[in-house]
Every structure is written in structure tokens, then in C-alpha cells.
Chains A and B, each alone.
Chain A
Amino acid sequence: MTRDDAAYRIMAHMIPFFPDYDASVQVASALIDGGASYLEIQFPYSDPTADGPAIQGACATALDRGFTVSEGWRFVRDLTARTPVPVFVMSYAGLVYAHEVQRFVKTAADAGVSGLIVPDLPVDSDEGLFAAAADAGVHAVPVIAMGAGESRLRLIESVGAEYVYASLRRGTTGSHTEIGPENSAFVDRLARSGARVLAGFGIATREQVRAVLDHAHAAVVGSAFVRAIGENPTAPADPVRRLCARLSGIG
């Protein structure tokens, strides 16, 4: 089964080299088999300030196991060669800037990446990310947090991004998010610009996914997979596939 059978559109997050290289290749396959509509590949960074404990710990492990940016691109190239599922790469300004923004974007495009998500390169401090991405035919995805003021929302809309990433609450990744009227209205507000809204932060259950997808284009699931891998570090593929299938509705 594949994403075409999925009832619910999931953007599944994962980290190359977590828990190690080979296992992370299997995790990617498990997410694809589990019906993920998009893959978000996080390139681990030493100082992931937007992430909660689960993803922080996973990034630290991945760095210990030998993740480097060039290994990350190898992982992504292998992945895009074997799946039509669109791959987005997420990382932090520190890493993207150290590898030169233009070059990072170009390498991403050559590796078959569909989009880039760099939360701390916002549209008005982007070091040329959005222009480089447009040139290279890659989506640069602005990240918008619940509670952003109307003037920030309009500024972000003005770049005309096809995808926007909505954090459904304040704080960092990982802890539970209640889907209620406030964050639903926030997603609706973003969707009105015509952008496809990828909504996430604290999504771990099918009920949350369903609630989010009444409003958003896709539900982003991250820490829940990281936790599933952490509980089964030697054989993560099955539990990850089962979780993904449950969330995407193919299983």
C-alpha cells in the first residue's frame, strides 16, 4: 500500500542516522510503506533550539553515529531515487549558513528535494534562502507559529509560498497539542492565502490528525515517530510502519 491509499495526509518526520544509518534507511521505507504523503528529513544540528527533548536527543544520537551534511545528502539522494513521495529537508540556520545558503539549496535541488524548512531563517532574515530556492525550483517553506501578529502573517504571505508550516502552539516540538477552535482558526487563516498548510507540533494520534486535517493540507508528525524508534532502537521499522499506517489511515 502507498500514500495513494491513505485516508489522511501525513508529513512524516525523521532523522538520518537515528538510531544509526542502516536503521534510519529502514525507518524511511517504513514511513513510505505506512502511507506517508510527505517526508520531512531533519538534518541534525548541535543546537536545535526549536526542538523538545525527544528530537534533541535523537539529533545528538545521530551526530554521535556519524551524521554529516554530506552523509545527509547521500541519504536524501538514495531516498528520492527510490520513492515518488516528496522529500522536504528541515534544518537550522546555523548549519545551512555554514554550508552557504546558495550551495545548500543547489545541493538540495540536485538531490531531488522538493522543499526546505529552516525555521530560524524567517522571510525577512533569510540570507537569500527564498530567492535561491525559487531559482532552483525548490519550495522554501516559511514556518509560522500560533500567536504571530497580523503584520507578520501578511509579510509571510507576501512571499507567496506554496507551502507554509504552521506550529499549532507555542513552545517546542514534542509535548501534546490540543486541537481546538484557536489553532483551527489559525490554520484556516493561513489557508485562506491559498498556501498548502503543513500543520504540526505535538501530533501523535489519529484523532489529532483527523482534527487537523479538517483545516490543514497535511499533518506533520515528528516526535511520535522519534519516540517509537527510541523504544525499539534495534528493530524500529515495524513499529514505525504500524504507527504511520494508523495515522494515515491505510492500516
Chain B
Amino acid sequence: MNSGFFGAFGGRYVAEVLRGPLDELDLAFQEASRDATFWEEFHRIGAEYVGRPTPLLFAENSTRELGGARLYIKLEGLANTGAHKINNAVGQALLARRMGKHRIIAETGAGQHGLATAAICAKLGLECTVYMGEVDINRQRPNVYLMEVFGATVVPVASGSRTLKDAVNEALRDWAGSYDTTHYIIGSALGPSPYPDMVREFQSVIGQEVVRQLSEREVTPTAMVACVGGGSNAIGFFAPYLEREAPRLIGVEAGGRGPEPGQHAARLNGLGRTGIVQGYKSLFLLDDDGQVSHTHSVSAGLDYPGVGPQLAWLGEQGRIEFRTATDEQALEAVQFFARNEGVVFALESAHGGYQAMQLARSLSSNDAVVVNMSGRGDKDLFITARELMPETWHEFLVSEATSIAASLEEGRSR
């Protein structure tokens, strides 16, 4: 049996056609991991291009307002392209180049992973195709625009629920026919082995920085909080602490509109079942007949029906606690941190933000809570503005559309 298991979870459950490319990738990753020059380049690009280290903010006003634990925010969303996704995209793109692959494919939900991949492909001169569900294209249009500006081809996916999981299916199909020239950069710590290990290693740069930044300030964290879609920002943020007993590690899933089937994406609170989907065994939201369920979240990055195998296992072991935040609570957290800290959380990250607020309230000033703001909220403009100031926003969009229509008309009549 191959390794790549975390307890009973993980594995490499793929059709034979993908077995070869995964074996090849596994070897290449192991070799690169042992090569100091590979990591030097990874860290050089991290410093010069991504903007690492990202700051750790003491959220002074929030701490005062919440009246409990001291709250720190890892401003991972300040990384170039706006989210932690760039760490993994850089690592895998370098690996692809090392393997002699000149074409990159990726799936994306919120568009952050697609954007990060498109950006690093532009920088490294790699060809890039991004699969994205039609539903996500509609709700994350600014990211689609940027990916195209970076020269990537964005392919709309119309099958299934037309969201992230369907984009993964489409990328897997592409890869099954193209692996000779193409590397598939999965955007989260999931999929068949070696992806979960590889993505965690590239994302663990977040946690390593936090360890350093906290120790410089002589802060011992009581709890760390991160949102969990597939689990890449969480596993990277938690990585240095996984083998220790403290701090408490808390993952926050999308509670959506509530616990009814199809209305959320909470897999780790007893609602998920062990299954094998998209090449790995983990906890998934399945219907009574074993088909993958539809999910809902206001955030396109958290509505995936499965979770990375290592997180499923760490949940089973009790090392990580899982909570949920609803759509409304996430929006509340976006406003809270914007007002108090001048920081706009991505809707995904705001799920973690909300539970960090709750936790801070329940602890004392001797405690410190660190939350990972995995992304910044610029990309959510069209969702949050519509929720928070519908009338003004509507007026603006109508006038903008009218003005574009007028200039198009003028162009045609010329």
C-alpha cells in the first residue's frame, strides 16, 4: 500500500490513467523537497513577488470591543493576488517547470486559486487554463477578468452543480489526456496523494511565519482559528502546531443558511460521511444514495462538499475542533473588522473571523487568539456591496451599465 494516508483518510483512488502522472509527481516532489535550491527559489519569489512575510496585526480595537482575549490577525490576504492561494501556486508552478511541463491547468471556486495560478504562470512563462463553474463565474466576475488579463484561458464548467467540485472534475478530465505536457495545480489540500502533503508543505509558510512573529512579541497563543474550504489555509496555518498539544486549533466551515441538506458545507460536524470522491477518501456531504450533495455558502471558496484528508483525520483525533459560521455571521464579521481595524476580510476568511470574535469574547485578557485572514475582500465587492448597501450599489451599476452601453453604441455607429 502506498503512503499518503492520514489514518483511514487519503489515498490515491484514481483510474489507472492518472496513476502514472501521480507517481511521477510524487517522485518529483520528493526530489524537490530535498533540494535546497528549490526552496531558495520558492522563498525568493515569496519575498520579492508574493510579499512575504505577510504581517501579523494586533487587532487592538477589536480586542477592546470584544472585551476578552487579545486578538491577532494574520494578514495573509495582503499576499500578491489577495489570498494564501499564491503560496501553493508558486510551489507547484516551480515544480511543474522542474518537471518540464509547460502547460498548467487549475480549478477554481472563488477565483483566488485561479488568479494566483494565472499570475505565477504569467511570471514564469507557462501556458494556463483555469476551469471554473458557471455559478462561480457569475459571483466572482472580478477574478475572472483578472485571470484573463494575466493571459489565462478561463473555461466555464456547466456540469453538475456548476461550482468548485465540478471544476475539479473537469480539470481531472483534462489532465487524463494531457499529462505529458501538463501539470494540474490543485488549489487545496485535497485530491489523491501526493497533493494533500504537497499543498500543506507549500502553505506551511503561513504557520512558520506566525510562530516567528508571535515569539518576537513573546505571545503564546491560546487558540488559532482558520476557515476551512478544502483546508489549505487551515492546514498551512496550523502546520507547526499539529504535533503539539497547544494551542487549540479551530477550523470553521460554511454554515450557509442552516443545517438542512444542500444549505451548507459543514462536513466535520457529524453531517459528512466517509466516502471516496475525486481520488481520495475523506468526509463528504453525500445524499442517502451516496451521490455527492449540493452545498451552499455565500462564499464561493467554502462550498466544496469534501474536506482534505488530513483535516478529517485530525478532526477524528480531536486535535482540531470544528465549528461553523453562517452566511450572515460571515457578513457580520466582514463589517466588524472593516470598522474596527480597517481590514476587509474575504467572505471565506470572515467565517474564521466570526468564530475568532466569539472565542475572544469567551476568554480572558491572558489569552491570545490568532485568526488567519486567508484572503482580502476586494473580490467580494459585488456580493458584499449588494448586501450592505443595495440601493446605492444598484444605482451605481445601472449608471455604469448605461454608460458602457452608450460608448459601445458610439463605437458601432462610428
A positions within 8 Å CB-CB of B: 45-53, 56-57, 60, 63, 68-69, 93-95, 97-99, 119-122, 124-125, 127, 142-149, 152, 156, 167, 169-172
Q: Are A99 and B290 in contact (CB under 8 A)?
A: yes
Whole-angstrom distance between the alpha carbons of A69 and B279 in the complex?
21
Contact A171 B1 (CB under 8 A): no
Residues in chain A near residue B12, CB distance under 8 A:
125
Q: Is the CB of B275 within 8 A of A170?
A: no
Per a CB cutoff under 8 Å, which of A63, A93, A149, A167 touches B276?
Answer: A93
Chain A residues positioned under 8 Å from B23 (CB to CB):
149
* B289 surroundings in chain A (CB, below 8 A): 68-69, 95, 98
Complexed CA–CA distance, A46 and B161 (Å): 9
Give the complex CA separation of A135 and B277 in angstroms. Answer: 26
Q: Are B159 and A56 in contact (CB under 8 A)?
A: yes
Tell me the minimal C-beta distance from A126 to chain B in angstroms: 9
Assess the A148–B160 pair: CB atoms within 8 A: no
Residue pair B290, A60 in contact (C-beta under 8 Å):
no
For the complex of A and B, 8 pairs with smallest distance between CB atoms: A98-B290, A171-B177, A145-B17, A119-B15, A46-B291, A93-B276, A46-B292, A97-B276
Complex: how many Å from CA A148 to CA B19? 8
Measured in the bound complex, the distance between the Cα atoms of B2 and A128 in whole Å is 16
- B172 x A119 contact (CB < 8 A): no
Q: Interface SS of chain A: helix, strand, loop or mixed?
A: loop
Chain A CB within 8 A of B259 CB: no
Q: Of A47, A144, A146, which contacts B278 at CB under 8 A?
A: A47
- B interface, over-half SS: mixed
Write 14 A-B pairs (CB below 8 A) sorted by A numbering. Answer: A47-B169, A47-B277, A49-B278, A60-B160, A69-B290, A94-B286, A95-B289, A95-B291, A97-B275, A119-B15, A144-B16, A145-B16, A171-B176, A172-B176
- Cα–Cα, bound, A119→B276 (Å): 13
A43–chain B nearest beta-carbon distance, Å: 10
Q: How many A-B residue pairs have CB under 8 A?
A: 114
Interface readout for B9-47 with A: 1 if CB under 8 Å, 0 if not?
A: 001111111011001000000000000000000000000
Whole-angstrom CA separation of A52 from B17 in the bound complex? 14
Q: Which residue in B2, B14, B16, B173 is a CB contact (below 8 Å) of A172?
A: B173
Against A, the Cβ 8 Å flags (1 = close, 0 = not) of B169-189 are 100110011110000000000
Q: Quick one: which of B115-162 are within 8 Å of A by CB?
A: 159-160
Contact of A124 with B291 at beta-carbon distance under 8 Å, contacts A49-B169, A149-B20 already known: no
A69 to B290, CA, bound (A): 9
Question: Given the complex of chains A and B, what is the CA–CA distance between A99 and B291 in angstroms?
Answer: 10
A99 / chain B contacts, CB cutoff of 8 Å? 290
A120 touches B160 (CB 8 A): no
Interface residue B351 (Cβ < 8 Å from any Cβ of A): no
Check B273 for interface membership: any CB of A closer than 8 A: yes
Inter-subunit contact B13/A121 (CB<8 Å): yes
B276 & A143 in contact (Cβ 8 Å cutoff)? no
Evaluate whether A94 and B290 lie within 8 angstroms (CB atoms) in the complex, with A120-B13, A167-B17 already known.
yes
Which of B2, B15, B165 has the largest count of A CB atoms less than 10 A from its CB?
B15
Give, as a whole number of angstroms, the nearest-CB distance from A150 to chain B: 11
In the complex, are the beta carbons of B173 and A124 less than 8 A apart? no
What residues of A have a CB within 8 angstroms of the CB of B176 in the complex? Answer: 49-50, 145, 170-172
**Cα distance A127–B169 in the bound complex, in angstroms:** 22
Question: What is the minimal beta-carbon distance from B307 to any residue of chain A, in angstroms?
Answer: 15
- CB contacts (< 8 Å) of B178 on chain A: these are 170-171
Contact A120 B14 (CB under 8 A): yes
Supply 16 further A-B pairs (C-beta < 8 A) apart from A69-B289, A94-B276, A172-B173: A47-B278, A49-B172, A49-B278, A50-B15, A97-B275, A97-B276, A97-B281, A98-B273, A119-B15, A120-B14, A120-B279, A122-B15, A125-B12, A125-B13, A142-B16, A145-B16
A60 to B158, CA, bound (A): 12
Q: Which of B20, B172, B291 has the most CB of A within 10 A?
A: B291
Q: State the Cβ distance, B339 to closest chain A Cβ, in Å.
A: 41
Name the B residues within 8 Å of A145 (CB-CB). Answer: 15-17, 176
Chain A residues within an 8 Å CB radius of B16: 119, 122, 142-145, 148, 152, 156, 167
Give complex CA distance A122, B275 in Å: 16
